[in-house]
Structure 1
Amino acid sequence: MASYPTIDSELLRTFVAIADQGGYTRAAEQVNRTQSAVSMQMKRLEEDVVQRSLFQRNGRQMLLTAEGELLLGYARRILRLQGEALNSLRAPHMVGLVRIGTPDDYVTRFLPGVLARFAQAFPLVQVEMHCEPSFQLLQRQDLDLTIVTREPGKEIGQLLRQEEVVWAQAENAMLHERPTLPLAMFNADCFCRNWACNALDTMSRDYRVAYSSPSLSAIFAVVGAGLAVTAQLRSLIPTEMRIIGKEEGLPDMPMASIVLLRNPRSQSPVTECLAEHIADGFRQH
């Protein structure tokens, strides 16, 4: 029988964390190890196991080499298969209720695939979803897992992804040419709305918040009708809308961070498995 070399799954898990987080510090937090331990793991993986350089440093950021990019695809598949194998064996014992809090921004874009895969692996687990703005979700203590949007530098919990905030309007609209820019935004406590208004104030651009709602679908309905411009995460903009920016006289917007919070008082194998599915789902997009 042929003998094949193997790679410790913990090394792969740390490798994927570094690739996703862009450095050792955040990766160490994610895998619950010290930064020096993470560094030693990568030294072992590069020098003793694959015998290739997997990262190259660019300032404080760790970038994948061509060999690293190749291994990353295999690593994700290996870890996912391991998880599926264990989940299948444990499935009869995985029952209960998990309460998730999320802004409705992410429900249609990210969660359908996540919940479908989770339901297939754990059909007896009940998932209860609570859709509210991030600032309201951060005040709740009764949720097991919470997905919220945070400003750069104010991330807490597990970083799922970072995205640019962009301006958008209906495909054939020319609202940016109006003397006063009509906006459709979330309600006043949304930091994205504050970013948009502050950016326009800084460049002395006249505007008014013509429409506001806690519902992203309501905002997009208004924008799609050609009534207003909005500023949202790039991945949320529908294909029938047009992203606009500097060429239309609008200011650049910063990056936003999407994070996952775990309630330490309600942790269980069920909630942790769903947390892993959520993290995988956001990374895949």
Structure 2
Amino acid sequence: MELLDLEIFSLVAKEQSVTRAAQLLQRVQSNVTTRVKQLEEELGVQLFSREGKRMTLTGDGQRLLGYAHRMLTLAEEARQAMQSNVPVGRLRIGSMESTAAARLPGLLGAYQSLWPAVQLDISTGTTRALIDDVKASRLDCAFIAETDERAAIEFNTGADADLAAIPAFREELLLLVPSRLGSASESVTHYPLAAFAKGCTYRRIGEQWLESKCADQGSGPESVGEIVEYHSYHAIFAAVSAGTAVAVFPKSVLATLAVASTVQSIPLTEITTWMVSRPAYQSLALNELSRLLPAR
């Protein structure tokens, strides 16, 4: 089993397409197909279910993918360690949408000016999805939000810890509500909560705050409005501006938008954005990124 085979296999799994993987690898399609088939023959299992041009992982393929990610990550770490005493290679960074929009441009711009030989791959997701991707070696590090209380549990500092965490930023969270909301005539809890998918820390905080408000008013959590999922802060802001929802918004993200008089904000809480990584993963590229974090 060669590392190139695992790289090809991982890319086909990600793209669910031999054609697309071949284009990204700048190889002919027949070569990619042959390498996948040879890997299946070597292992004696079927790695993909083929439905027309779409390739989906089988159960055996899913199991191999976890090993492939770890082996490729370790190979890249070794290559970086042997090649240079300055950061080189690739650094795969995950981030929440809010951090990617308001915090990372300045940080990564400064990083690239110092270490231009490092290739930065950026992807976004919810806190829960990013943590899972770091643990599974699909990401080298990720910027996620968590309360200090839950972080103390989630980021165990013992020898068997799954994650290492460094405070990166401190965020002020606001509840964004329609400007027409009248404190005397309408209740915040009657509005749907516009939020990202489950696994988003800010969504959880919004749900807990609204449930607490219901309790203060003498009603149960079932009185909280429904959750409406969106994929961007611009869409969430539009929903609040239109008067159809409320939302949890980091103040740093709100500062990047052209805020209209159609919304108002209620202070909620402060929360830490952490940079998490696997304790066993070491690279100069990651070390230098951590040195630039403003909260260190």
> Shorter-chain TM-score category?
0.5 to 0.7
- Does the residue aligned with 2:149 lie in a helix, a strand or coil? coil
CA apart distance, 1:214: 4.2
Corresponding residue of 1:136: 129
Q: Identify the range of structure 1 (204-213 vs 121-130) with the bigger mean alpha-carbon deviation.
A: 204-213
Letter in 2 for 1:167: L
Query: Which residue of 229, 250, 255 maps to 1:233?
Result: 250
Corresponding residue of 1:10: none
> TM-score w.r.t. structure 1 length?
0.56
Letter in 2 for 1:212: E
CA apart distance, 1:193: 2.3
Moved over 4 A (4+): none
Please give the alpha-carbon distance, in whole angstroms, between the structure 2 residues aligned to 1:173 and 1:107.
Answer: 30
What is the CA deviation profile of residues 179-212 of structure 1, one whole-angstrom value per residue up to 9, with x for unaligned ones?
5223212223333323322322233265413521
Query: Which residue of 222, 229, 233 maps to 1:216?
Result: 233
Corresponding residue of 1:263: 278
1:196-211 to 2 correspondences below 5 Å: 196-204=206-214, 206-209=223-226, 211=228
Query: Which residue of 266, 275, 281 maps to 2:290?
Result: 275
Letter in 2 for 1:183: L
Please give the alpha-carbon distance, in whole angstroms, between the structure 1 residues aligned to 2:198 and 2:229.
Answer: 8
Name the CA shift for 1:202/1:262 in 2 (closer, same or farther; >3 Å).
closer
1:149-228 to 2 correspondences below 5 Å: 149-155=145-151, 156=155, 157-169=165-177, 172-174=179-181, 177-178=185-186, 180-204=190-214, 206-209=223-226, 211-228=228-245
Q: Which runs of 5+ in 2 are unaligned?
A: 1-83, 156-164, 218-222
Between 1 and 2, higher relative CO (CA 8 Å, sep ≥ 6) is seen in 2
Letter in 2 for 1:100: I
Please give the alpha-carbon distance, in whole angstroms, between the structure 1 residues aligned to 2:241 and 2:86.
Answer: 46
What is the CA deviation profile of residues 87-138 of structure 1, one whole-angstrom value per residue up to 9, with x for unaligned ones?
xxxx994321000011111111011111211111112210001211001111
CA apart distance, 1:239: 5.2
**Percent of matched pairs sharing the same residue:** 22
Name the CA shift for 1:101/1:201 in 2 (closer, same or farther; >3 Å).
same
Please give the alpha-carbon distance, in whole angstroms, between the structure 2 residues aligned to 1:276 and 1:263.
Answer: 17
What is the CA deviation profile of residues 120-158 of structure 1, one whole-angstrom value per residue up to 9, with x for unaligned ones?
111221000121100111112322121111122122311
Please give the alpha-carbon distance, in whole angstroms, between the structure 1 residues aligned to 2:244 and 2:180.
Answer: 8
Give the number of aligned pairs. 184
CA contact (8 A) 2:192 2:246 kept: yes
Q: Which runs of 5+ in 1 are unaligned?
A: 1-90, 246-251
Corresponding residue of 2:265: 244
CA contact (8 A) 1:145 1:262 kept: yes
Letter in 1 for 2:147: E
CA contact (8 A) 1:233 1:256 kept: no
CA contact (8 A) 1:165 1:231 kept: yes
CA contact (8 A) 1:185 1:209 kept: no
Name the CA shift for 1:265/1:130 in 2 (closer, same or farther; >3 Å).
farther
Q: Is 1:254 the counterpart of 2:254 in the alignment? A: no
CA apart distance, 1:276: 2.0
Name the CA shift for 1:168/1:255 in 2 (closer, same or farther; >3 Å).
same
Corresponding residue of 2:68: none
Name the CA shift for 1:175/1:258 in 2 (closer, same or farther; >3 Å).
farther
